[in-house]
């Protein structure tokens, strides 16, 4: 049956789909006319249902901040969410994403049965199968590779995966190292900067409530910074005490707009601004000599020599900011030390020079001695309680002793230096052009065709090609851009219906962790993907199944919590189910590097060049540093000090034949340095109600933001005779340095989008938000009214609002569902780390 004949004959919803029946998951039906308001569903309000509500502690997962929440449930139905006051991070506060996420549970276009592709991949025709058939099919495919001795040809690709304990266990059990994630698109330059300066492998934890001055380089913590809501809450507390916020961002974000001062520097110039501020701090003798002498790995004289060329005048020429402002802000910042902090995010790190940009900003904290101090750039003990605190059930599968270039790219060795930071935006290019062979590709809640650079082009081409990806099993909640190119779709449980051990940077500087637990049961055949992997693992023979001797992921979590001490007479699991959060009984952990090591910690240790080690089988492990003849913890860097000079970077660069002296020099990316008068820099950003492709099918969030015109400066628009709302064509080009570089103005892509003319952006920059412009995901994501026919549903009733009340539907004069800019954004990994340089894209524009 071809698709045209199938549509002519009509179809049934998945709710009544029988085994073997075929259904199209591409919406085609349109509403004939707008429905009268009286026909809309009548929903019971929360106020009418207060009596008898059960509060189930859990954790939000609509972004990476993972705020604790109480899910409000009555008669098996989720009525809403409220903040969990036991969560030490969010402290009972939630944002719009948390509230909007509830709509994912009862989304009428949610996948609720396992589906198997019929016809060509990408054609959109499916038949319903059983979960048993899905398990068997996936197991048989994997078993072929295990029998052939090629486990590395089984690939797992994850989005916001918070179940690494079971997904990693599964991949270790089958012997494949090829786990791909999305971190190279998100935060790897920032993490690498922290790793090479303070030895931390995450982002900073600002003690904002006690801070007096915040220097913000490219973070939008009012909306989308990791840990944004906990930081925002403490910022408000600090603001009441007189905290000043200065933001450097090319665009007037919500954070910039609510700052005491906003500066719009030229893109990628953040590093030279920070180094010029360091120059001023040195010149005015506002540095903390004691901290530098005791805890920095180079001397004050060496620092002075390093920053000497980076004058405010030089920084002004590069950034466009005034010398006077650079000097004044540097002096204001240092004058209130140590209760001050300079920090970063996407605006500074999503460049080819992002690693050194962020290192330069972090160094400001060391110069003024705010590292680890009250009100400063705090860290250490600020982590969530480690997964090592909950031992994995035995036996534990051994980790593969080899890697492949797919998950461990040799050209970007820092991406995997301390933990797997895969440059997976290169994966599809490698699969297409390098001859890297795979047989089984499993994807989990990731929408690479939508969210990857060149995703709508390169990624789609690879996923459609069965000679490159022979078998693709996708687990997702909705019929996503990824699911459309799968061979089997597994109906995932939402985060309201499953378990996970959670935790993030502890903004109270006391280790904690949280439990995500089911508030309701997943409907129909929907299943936590962790449970799916357990059942597949049990079908792979004793060599693999021995590691899955438990019936469910819930049992696995219970086993991990079994070592927790009892509280209130409750086991660890029972306590967590009751309260949702476990907080360590400790004081705030300031200056963790200066802590004296105990006798127990020093057992079996030895000292070499003042570094304290303990012997390990494979490699001696540094645990501290001798300071004034006292054993102290130190920082987790090779020198156990704050590292302005990084031997890690120098040696990593040397392994690639790159000359780098390990200092955070400023160098403008070639494309931006040689930008022409008629060229602009294309940048991207997120709104506070969206998280890549995860949130777009959630109706209340997309109702708030469903359109994304391109921001363009008033003066720039005037030159091109572009007015607000005009259509403008954007043409983008390959970068002039780095991956697939071109000096010949090689075009990446072209798109036409409406203009939003504003003074709130740098004149040489245009900006567009991501997360929108989806081709799949249902009527909300597509901005298209219509009946439920031919669309998967797990209830007989439709959401009547989706048949006439999607008021942004273009058919009724609305703005539509926005634009996806990623087909014109080139794959552009930064040196050493591989972070995608989102904000280095050169383009030209013209009025259409």
Tens of pLDDT along 236-256?
Answer: 999 999 999 999 999 999 999
For the residues of 505-536, what is the DSSP string, one character each?
--TTSS-EEEEE--SSPPPTT-B-HHHHHHHH
Write the CATH number of the domain with boundaries 670-773+818-847: 2.40.40.20
Sheet of 340-344: strand order equals: 261-263, 244-248, 213-217, 340-344
Neighbours of 781 (CB within 10 A): 30
8 Å CB contact between 681 and 764: yes
Q: What is the DSSP letter of 819?
A: -
Q: What is the pLDDT of residue 10?
A: 40
Q: What is the DSSP letter of 779?
A: H
Length of the chain as a residue count: 848
Could you tell me which of 411, 413, 404 has the C-alpha nearest to residue 436?
A: 404
Which tokens hold the place of 95? 């944002």
Class of domain 3-104: mainly beta
8 Å CB contact between 66 and 95: no
Q: Which long-range contacts (CB under 8 A, 24 or more apart) does 598-604 make?
A: 602/631
Judged by DSSP in three states, 570 sits in strand
The pair phi, psi for residue 387, each rounded to 5°, is: -60, -20
8 Å CB contact between 840 and 681: yes
Write the CATH number of the domain with boundaries 115-186+394-494+522-551: 3.40.50.740
8 Å CB contact between 742 and 827: no
Q: What is the pLDDT of residue 227?
A: 83
8 Å CB contact between 287 and 300: yes
Q: Look-up: residue for tokens 């939630």?
A: 94
8 Å CB contact between 306 and 367: no
Could you tell me which of 64, 66, 378 has the C-alpha nearest to residue 206?
A: 378
Which tokens hold the place of 455? 């995703």
Q: What is the pLDDT of residue 160?
A: 79
In angstroms, the Cα distances linking 508 to 343, 375, 383, 763 are 18, 12, 10, 40
8 Å CB contact between 320 and 265: yes
CA distance 517 to 515: 6
Which tokens hold the place of 388? 């090592």
Q: What is the pLDDT of residue 387?
A: 59
Judged by DSSP in three states, 302 sits in helix
Q: What is the pLDDT of residue 810?
A: 94
Q: What is the pLDDT of residue 37?
A: 41
Q: Look-up: residue for tokens 């490159």?
A: 468
CA distance 606 to 270: 42
Q: Look-up: residue for tokens 């001062």?
A: 261
Q: What is the pLDDT of residue 383?
A: 54
For the residues of 707-736, what is the DSSP string, one character each?
--PEEEEHHHHHHTT--TT-EEEEEEE--S
In angstroms, the Cα distances linking 241 to 114, 207, 234 are 55, 13, 11
Which tokens hold the place of 449? 């065709």
Would you call the peptide bond into 395 cis, given omega within 30 degrees of 0 as the criterion? yes
Question: 324 Cβ partners below 8 Å, 6+ apart?
Answer: none
Q: What is the DSSP letter of 249?
A: -
Instruction: Count Cβ atoms within 10 A of the Cβ of residue 789 and give its class: 0-12 exposed, 13-18 middle, 19 or more buried.
Output: middle
CA distance 614 to 641: 18
Dihedral angle computed from the Cα positions of residues 78, 80, 85 and 88, in that order, rounded to the nearest 10 degrees: 90
* pTM, two decimal places: 0.93
Could you tell me which of 357, 416, 299, 307 has the C-alpha nearest to residue 652?
A: 416
Element at 765 (helix H, strand E): strand 765-769
* Residue 171 β-bridge partners: none
Convert the pLDDT of each residue in 383-396 to its tens digit: 555 556 788 999 99
Could you tell me which of 251, 250, 264, 254 has the C-alpha nearest to residue 228?
A: 254
Q: What is the pLDDT of residue 36?
A: 44
Domain ranges, ordered by start, for the chain: 3-104, 115-186+394-494+522-551, 206-367, 603-655, 670-773+818-847
CA distance 488 to 151: 20
Class of domain 206-367: alpha beta
Would you call the peptide bond into 186 cis, given omega within 30 degrees of 0 as the criterion? no
8 Å CB contact between 452 and 822: yes
Convert the pLDDT of each residue in 425-463 to its tens digit: 899 999 999 888 999 999 998 999 999 999 999 999 999
Judged by DSSP in three states, 596 sits in strand
CA distance 236 to 208: 9
The pair phi, psi for residue 70, each rounded to 5°, is: -105, 125
Which tokens hold the place of 791? 């669309």
Sheet of 500-502: strand order equals: 500-502, 512-516, 581-583
8 Å CB contact between 398 and 365: no
Q: What is the pLDDT of residue 587?
A: 85
pLDDT < 50 stretches in the chain = 1-12, 29-42
CA distance 213 to 286: 15
């Amino acid at each position: 049956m071809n698709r045209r004949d199938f549509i002519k004959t009509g179809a049934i919803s998945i709710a009544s789909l029988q085994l073997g029946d075929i259904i199209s998951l591409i919406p085609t039906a349109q509403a004939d006319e707008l429905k009268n308001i009286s026909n809309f569903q009548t929903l019971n309000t929360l106020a009418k249902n207060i009596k008898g509500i059960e509060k189930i502690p859990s954790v939000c997962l609509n972004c990476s901040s993972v705020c604790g929440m109480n899910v409000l449930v009555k008669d098996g139905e989720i009525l809403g969410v409220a903040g969990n006051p036991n969560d030490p991070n969010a402290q009972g506060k939630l944002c719009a994403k948390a509230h909007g996420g509830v709509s994912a549970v009862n989304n009428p276009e949610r996948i609720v049965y396992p589906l198997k592709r019929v016809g060509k991949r990408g054609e959109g025709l499916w038949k319903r199968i059983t979960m048993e058939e899905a398990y068997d099919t996936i197991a048989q495919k994997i078993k072929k590779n295990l029998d052939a001795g090629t486990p590395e040809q089984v690939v797992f690709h994850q989005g916001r995966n918070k179940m690494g304990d079971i997904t990693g266990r599964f991949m270790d059990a089958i012997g494949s190292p090829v786990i791909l994630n999305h971190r190279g698109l998100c935060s790897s330059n920032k993490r690498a900067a922290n790793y090479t300066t303070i030895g931390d492998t995450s982002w900073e934890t600002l003690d904002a409530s006690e801070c007096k001055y915040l220097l913000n380089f490219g973070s939008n913590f009012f909306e989308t910074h990791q840990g944004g809501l906990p930081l925002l809450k403490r910022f408000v507390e600090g603001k009441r005490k007189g905290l000043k916020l200065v933001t450097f961002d090319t665009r007037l974000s919500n954070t910039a707009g609510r700052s005491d001062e906003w500066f719009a520097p030229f893109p990628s110039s953040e590093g030279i601004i920070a180094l010029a501020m360091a120059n001023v701090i040195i010149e005015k003798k506002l540095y903390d000599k004691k901290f530098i002498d005791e805890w920095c790995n180079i001397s004050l004289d060496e620092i002075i020599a390093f920053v000497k060329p980076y004058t405010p005048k030089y920084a002004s020429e590069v950034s466009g900011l005034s010398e006077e402002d650079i000097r004044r802000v540097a002096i204001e910042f240092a004058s209130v030390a140590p209760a001050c902090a300079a920090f970063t995010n996407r605006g500074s790190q999503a460049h080819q020079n992002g690693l050194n940009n962020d290192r330069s900003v972090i160094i400001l904290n060391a110069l003024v001695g705010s590292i680890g101090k009250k009100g400063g750039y705090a860290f250490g003990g600020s982590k969530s309680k480690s997964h090592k605190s909950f031992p994995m059930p035995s036996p534990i599968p051994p980790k593969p002793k080899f890697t492949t270039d797919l998950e461990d790219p040799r050209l970007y060795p820092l991406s995997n230096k301390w933990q797997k930071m895969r440059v997976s935006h290169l994966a599809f290019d490698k699969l297409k052009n390098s001859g890297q062979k795979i047989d089984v590709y499993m994807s989990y809640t990731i929408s690479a065709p939508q969210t990857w650079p060149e995703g709508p082009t390169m990624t789609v081409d690879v996923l459609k090609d069965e000679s490159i990806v022979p078998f693709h099993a996708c687990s997702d909640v909705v019929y996503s851009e990824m699911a459309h190119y799968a061979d089997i779709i597994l109906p995932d449980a939402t985060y309201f219906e499953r378990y996970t051990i959670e935790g993030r940077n502890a903004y109270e500087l006391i280790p904690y962790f949280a439990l995500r637990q089911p508030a309701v049961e997943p409907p129909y055949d929907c299943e936590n993907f962790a449970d799916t992997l357990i059942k597949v693992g049990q079908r792979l023979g004793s060599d693999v199944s021995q590691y899955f001797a438990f019936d469910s992921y819930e049992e696995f979590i219970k086993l991990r919590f079994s070592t927790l001490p009892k509280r209130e007479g409750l086991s660890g699991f029972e306590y967590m189910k009751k309260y949702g959060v476990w907080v360590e009984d400790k004081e705030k952990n300031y200056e963790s590097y200066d802590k004296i090591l105990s006798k127990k910690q020093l057992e079996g240790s030895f000292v070499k060049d003042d570094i304290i080690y303990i012997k390990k089988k494979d490699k001696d492990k540094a645990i501290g540093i001798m300071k004034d003849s006292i054993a102290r913890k130190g920082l987790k860097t090779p020198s156990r000090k704050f590292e302005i000079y990084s031997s890690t970077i120098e040696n990593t660069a040397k392994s690639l034949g790159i000359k780098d002296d390990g200092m955070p020099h400023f160098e403008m990316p070639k494309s931006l340095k040689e930008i022409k008068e008629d060229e602009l820099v294309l940048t991207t950003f997120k709104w506070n109600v969206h998280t890549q492709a995860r949130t777009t099918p959630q109706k209340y969030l997309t109702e708030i933001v469903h359109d994304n015109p391109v921001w363009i400066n008033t003066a720039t628009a005037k030159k091109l005779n572009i007015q607000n709302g005009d259509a403008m064509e954007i043409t983008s080009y390959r970068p002039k340095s780095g991956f697939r570089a071109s000096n010949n103005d090689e075009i990446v892509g072209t798109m036409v989008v409406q203009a939003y003319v504003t003074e709130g952006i740098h004149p040489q920059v245009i900006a567009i938000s991501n997360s929108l412009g989806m081709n799949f995901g249902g009527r909300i994501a597509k901005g298209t009214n219509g009946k439920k026919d031919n669309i998967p549903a797990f209830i007989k009733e439709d959401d009547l609002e989706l048949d006439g009340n999607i008021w942004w539907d273009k058919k009724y004069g609305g703005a539509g569902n926005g634009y996806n800019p990623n087909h014109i954004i080139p794959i552009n990994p930064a040196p050493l780390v591989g972070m995608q340089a989102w904000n280095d894209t050169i383009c030209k524009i013209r009025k259409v």
